[in-house]
């Protein structure tokens, strides 16, 4: 059984939750109260010394970093979401890294400055917001092209890279990021949000706190 330490508004946290769901794994969610600083308590640091969500614990073993958790869980299930053949696996790694650095990062910049900063009463960093938007304008066409060639990022079956992409884009309605110009990506995302790996977790980003 995987215990996943998470916060529902943390979209890095959602990636391993979606993965566990896609694997049909037995998993349990453990809420980490980021607002109260629980991620910095000695108890939590004993699970994840990185002091962030997500983290995953299986028996005596625990790790942080969403991509590492996703790979570990998929390996445990010998799942095609993370193929064992070296070149196929390297392609999944490439797209996971690309999604996390070049899509999730800029989404986070826009999301924080446009949606969360006002909620927390923090002054938004408009330069960071603009940079995030500009990076998405540069990087989303690359995703659009890849999805137009195959049904999924790495071919005609879903992989961890696709799960990472679904999680990375989860808050875009709340943060008013418009992807409608990317027709293939928009249709693909709508379809993935109807897949059971997604609907078994939630209906939309923020549902857990009635947003
Ligand atoms: N690279 C990490 C990012 C994790 C991350 O930034 N988590 C944030 C929430 S989205 C966090 O725990 N922040 C709390 C803190 O830094 O104190 C991953 O993919 O797991």
Share the mean pLDDT of the chain.
97
Q: What is the pLDDT of residue 194?
A: 98
CB 153 within 8 A of CB 165: yes
CB atoms within 10 A of CB 117: 16
Q: What is the pLDDT of residue 167?
A: 98
Q: What is the pLDDT of residue 209?
A: 84
Q: How confident is the model at residue 53 (pLDDT cuts 50, 70, 90)?
A: very high
pLDDT tens digits, one per residue of 17-44: 999 999 999 999 999 999 999 999 999 9
Q: What is the pLDDT of residue 210?
A: 76
Q: What is the pLDDT of residue 161?
A: 98
What residue ranges line ligand 1, CB within 6 angstroms?
10, 12, 34, 39, 51-54, 65-66
Give the residue-averaged pLDDT of 81-110.
98
Share of the chain above pLDDT 70, in %: 100
Q: What is the pLDDT of residue 119?
A: 86
Query: DSSP string of 73-99?
Result: HHHHTT-TTS-SSHHHHHHHHHHHHHI
pLDDT tens digits, one per residue of 190-203: 999 999 999 999 99
| Residue 13, pLDDT above cutoff 90 | yes
Sorted by sequence, the CB contacts under 8 Å of residue 47 that are 6+ apart come out as: 5, 55, 57, 62
pTM, entire model: 0.97
Fold classification of 86-199 is Glutathione S-transferase Yfyf (Class Pi); Chain A, domain 2 (1.20.1050)
CATH class of 2-76: alpha beta
CB 173 within 8 A of CB 24: no
Q: Which long-range contacts (CB under 8 A, 24 or more apart) does 196-203 make?
A: 196/21, 197/18, 197/21, 197/22, 197/163, 198/18, 198/21, 198/166, 200/21, 201/14, 201/17, 201/18, 201/21, 202/8
Distance 30 CA to ligand 1 centre (A): 15
Nearest atom in ligand 1 to the alpha carbon of residue 53 is: 12
Q: Which residues partner with 136 through β-bridges?
A: none
Report how far residue 84's alpha carbon sits from residue 87's, in angstroms, rounded to the nearest whole number: 9
| Residue 211, pLDDT above cutoff 80 | no
Residue ranges per structural domain of the chain = 2-76, 86-199
Pairing of strands 55-58, 2-6: antiparallel
Report how far residue 56's alpha carbon sits from residue 69's, in angstroms, rounded to the nearest whole number: 7
Report the C-alpha dihedral over residues 174, 176, 177, 181, rounded to 10 degrees: 120
Distance 64 CA to ligand 1 centre (A): 9
Hey, do 2-76 and 86-199 end up sharing a CATH topology, with the first three levels equal? no
CB 5 within 8 A of CB 57: yes
Residue of 7, 9, 10, 14 best suited for mutating to test ligand 1, as the one with most atoms within 8 Å of CB: 10
What are the φ and ψ backbone dihedral angles of 104, each rounded to 5 degrees? -65, -40
Report how far residue 179's alpha carbon sits from residue 169's, in angstroms, rounded to the nearest whole number: 10
Distance 78 CA to ligand 1 centre (A): 27
pLDDT tens digits, one per residue of 77-94: 999 999 999 999 999 999
The closest of 99, 95, 96, 131 to 113, measured between CA atoms, is 131
pLDDT tens digits, one per residue of 151-174: 999 999 999 999 999 999 999 999
């Amino acid at each position: 059984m995987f215990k996943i330490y998470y916060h529902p508004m943390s979209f890095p946290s959602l990636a391993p939750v979606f993965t566990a769901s896609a694997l049909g794994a037995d998993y349990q969610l453990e809420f980490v109260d980021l607002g109260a600083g629980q991620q910095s308590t000695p108890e939590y640091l004993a699970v994840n010394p990185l002091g962030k969500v997500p983290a995953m614990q299986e028996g005596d073993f625990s790790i942080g970093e969403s991509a590492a958790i996703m790979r570990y869980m998929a390996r445990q299930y010998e799942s095609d979401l993370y193929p064992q053949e070296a070149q196929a696996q390297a392609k999944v790694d490439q797209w996971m890294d690309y999604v996390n650095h070049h899509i999730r990062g800029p989404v986070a910049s826009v999301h924080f400055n446009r949606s969360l900063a006002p909620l927390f009463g923090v002054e938004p960093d408009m330069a960071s917001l603009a940079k995030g938007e500009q990076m998405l304008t540069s990087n989303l066409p690359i995703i659009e092209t890849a999805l137009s060639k195959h049904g999924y990022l790495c071919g005609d079956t879903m992989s961890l890279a696709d799960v990472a992409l679904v999680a990375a884009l989860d808050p875009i309605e709340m943060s008013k990021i418009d992807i409608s110009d990317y027709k293939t990506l928009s249709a693909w995302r709508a379809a993935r949000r109807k897949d059971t790996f997604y609907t078994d977790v939630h209906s939309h980003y923020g549902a857990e706190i009635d947003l």
